[in-house]
Amino acid sequence: MRNARARSSAGSMPTRGLSRRSLMQSAGGLSIAAAVPFALTACGTSGGTTGGKTAIRFLYATGDETWNSVAKGVADAFNAKSATAIVELEPLPAGTDYPTAMKTMDATGNWPALVDMRDTLTYLEAGKLAPIPASVTDLLNDEVYAPVEDGDVYIVPTTALNGELGFNMVYDKDYFAEHSLAVPTTYAEFIALLDAIKANGDAPLATAAGEIWPSDQLWKPLAAPTFAQYSEAGGFWNAVRAGDASLADLREPLQRLKDITDEYVLEGWQSTQDAQTTTLLVNRQAVMATSSAGIGRLNDVNKVDPDFNAGIFYLPADDGKLNVLKNSVNGDTASGFAISAQAQEDGKQYDAAVEFLEFYFSVEACDLMEETGMIAPNIKASDEVVRNSTIPGAEDYFALLANPSLNWFANETTWAGFSTFHTFFRQARIEMQDGQTTIDECIAKAQEEFDNQAENE
């Protein structure tokens, strides 16, 4: 107690122990000390150099292990080869949804040079992206990229542009063979298949909504026949915006979503994460699992259990058509590589990003991607790429591409506010699937949100 009081007294009489001058110097020193972290922070955001090379960051969305391996493999190969640049991988944390992570990154003003882009229109309109030069686009087939209104290209694909063909059902082929089950060719056959598996006392389908976005994996193929009807007219969402369609037109697919969830989906889907569905399948806790990774998911299954005999099919419509979304290479739904405007301001970072993209679209890198289990992007030198046909089940994916029932459709969203609605709609659907709201309530809620967002545009 005495010591405390003595210290307190000393504090109240500064002129005795410390001169005013020394106090001023101390205070000034503190001010500088406080400023140092800011200076250091400012230095840390630019990327800088590593061993004389320009270091750039590559931010990408994780999800399936195959894409993670491809990103790492190509970056490592590039880093070993390049004399001027080095790519540092920056995976988005698992469990975060993409818009949240992107917005958080944007709020820090700390953009990586290379971004695995979503919600492209939002960021393009905000001036956050830099044009991709002809030295990159010249390596690609003409149909997989396109300039926007200002004549520049801002996004190029990370993988083969097969739309949403990767939104598959992954299934246990041995189980199908054992129980004389066949891949369904119509929606009715699909329901019959689910009934047959359920009758065997097994869980037909594992799906995930723990991270919100995987809830699309079951929804999108179910809604595809409705969306496809509006393909020629500019897409369903634009029709809703124009008043030519409404959310009520999605009642049937929403009803099907609810029925499948209630009757056939493995319990616990609300908190299950995307990657866990692979484990559920391989552990034989479910006979089928939803996926949006196409061959990548087959590769994951093969890694977890090389003896597991996996196959994939796409959910057919009532008429047997396989309606698959394939939007134009621009628009808000376009995804792929983008270079940040922040990198362009830096100059060196932009050059390094361009160098990496030139490598990414080389035959050498494409071979590496195929070897790792991902279908390489559509480059002009595709004939020279060594295709990987060793992944069990991959033949099912290639068969889908050649399936006569395959019907590509477009559902463009040409307004940035759709991203906001899209996130909301996912959660509203999960809420409905979970029984917290009725289908009518879900439709009304989603329509209100859609109208609000459209009005704000």
Partner 1 sequence: MTVQTAERPAAVRGGRARPAPDRRLTRHRAVMLLFIAPALIVYVLMVIAPSIQSIQLSLTDWDGINPAYEYVGFANYQDILTSDRFWNATKNTLILGLGSAVVVNAVALGVALMLDKLHHAQGFFRTIVYLPALVSGFIAATIWKYMLNFNFGAVNTVLRDLGFDDAAMDWLGDNDIVVGVLLFIICFTLGGNTTLIYLANLQSVPQDLVEAARIDGASRGQVFRYVTWPMLAGAVTVNMTLMMIAGWTIFDQVMVLTAGGPGFVSETMAFFIYKVGFGEYRAGYGSAAAIVLFIVVLATTVLANKYMRSREVQA
Residue type, 25: Q
Residue 416 sits in the site that holds partner 1 (CB under 8 A):
yes
What is the distance between the alpha carbons of residues 184 and 180, in angstroms, rounded to a whole number? 12
Of residues 149, 150, 232, 267, which one binds partner 1 by CB under 8 A?
267
Half-sphere exposure at residue 195, Cβ-oriented, CA atoms within 13 angstroms: 8
DSSP at 132? B
Does 347 help bind partner 1 (rule: CB under 8 A)? no
Give 198's DSSP letter: H
Q: How many residues bind partner 1 (CB under 8 A)?
A: 58
Stretch that binds partner 1, among 76-84, 177-185, 317-325, 426-434 (CB under 8 A): 426-434
Question: Which has the closest alpha carbon to 261: 184, 220, 207, 223?
Answer: 207
| Min CB(219)–partner 1 separation in Å | 14
Q: Does 451 help bind partner 1 (rule: CB under 8 A)?
A: no
Q: Footprint of partner 1 on residues 20-59 (CB under 8 A)?
A: 20, 23-24, 26-28, 30-31, 33-35
Distance CA 5, CA 195 (A): 81
- Residues 284-343 within binding reach of partner 1 (CB under 8 A): 285
- Position of tokens 């969306």? 227
Q: Which is nearer to partner 1, 162 or 217 (CB)?
A: 217
Q: Output the smallest distance, CB 423 to partner 1, in A.
A: 5
Place of tokens 């000034």: 28
d(CA 85, CA 177): 51
User: Residue 162, interface with partner 1 (CB under 8 A)?
Assistant: no
Residue of 111, 219, 236, 269 that binds partner 1 (CB under 8 A) = 269
Q: Which stretch binds partner 1 (CB under 8 A): 135-143, 255-263, 352-360, 433-441?
A: 433-441
Task: State how far the Cα of 194 lies from the Cα of 188, in Å rounded to an integer.
Answer: 10
Q: Which of 186, 229, 270, 414 binds partner 1 (CB under 8 A)?
A: 270
Binding flag, residue 434, partner 1 (CB under 8 A): yes
Q: Of 65-73, 231-239, 246-254, 416-424, which segment contacts partner 1 by CB under 8 A?
A: 416-424
Q: Does 257 bind partner 1 (CB under 8 A)?
A: no
User: What's the closest the beta carbon of residue 27 comes to partner 1, in angstroms?
Assistant: 4
Return d(Cα 340, Cα 360) in angstroms, integer.
17
The correct pick among 6, 9, 10, 14 for binding partner 1 (CB under 8 A) is: 14
Nearest approach in angstroms of CB 212 to partner 1 is 6
Can residue 8 be called a binding residue for partner 1 (CB under 8 A)?
A: no
Tokens of 406: 């395959």
Please report, as residue ranges, which positions from 187 to 216 form the binding site for partner 1 (by CB under 8 A): 209-212
Contact 204, 175 (CB under 8 A): no
Q: Which of 285, 242, 241, 251 is nearest to 267 (CA)?
A: 285
Question: Minimum distance from CB of 104 to partner 1 (Å)?
Answer: 6
Binding test (CB under 8 A) with partner 1, winner from 9, 49, 84, 125: 125
Cβ-contact 195, 287 below 8 angstroms: no
Residues 91-120 that bind partner 1 (CB under 8 A): 95, 97, 99-100, 103-104, 106-107, 119
Distance (Å, whole) CA 167 – CA 284: 21
- Contact status, residue 354 vs residue 144, Cβ threshold 8 Å: no
Q: Which among 118, 160, 425, 165 is positioned nearest to 291, based on CA atoms?
A: 165
- Quote the CA–CA distance of 310 and 330 in Å, as a whole number: 34
Tell which residue, 342, 373, 454, has the closest CA to residue 66. Answer: 373
Q: Does 386 bind partner 1 (CB under 8 A)?
A: no
Closest separation in Å from C-beta 437 to partner 1? 8
Count other Cβ atoms within 10 Å, centred on residue 386: 12
Q: Does 149 bind partner 1 (CB under 8 A)?
A: no
- Residue identified by tokens 């995976």 is 91
Q: Minimum distance between the CB of residue 115 and partner 1, rounded to whole angstroms?
A: 13
CA distance 97 to 273: 12
Rg of the chain taking only CA atoms, in angstroms: 26
* Residue number, 136 or 266, with CB nearest to partner 1: 266
Chain positions contacting partner 1, by CB under 8 A: 14, 20, 23-24, 26-28, 30-31, 33-35, 95, 97, 99-100, 103-104, 106-107, 119, 122-123, 125-128, 209-212, 267-272, 276, 279-280, 285, 416-417, 419-420, 423-424, 427-428, 430-432, 434-437, 452, 456
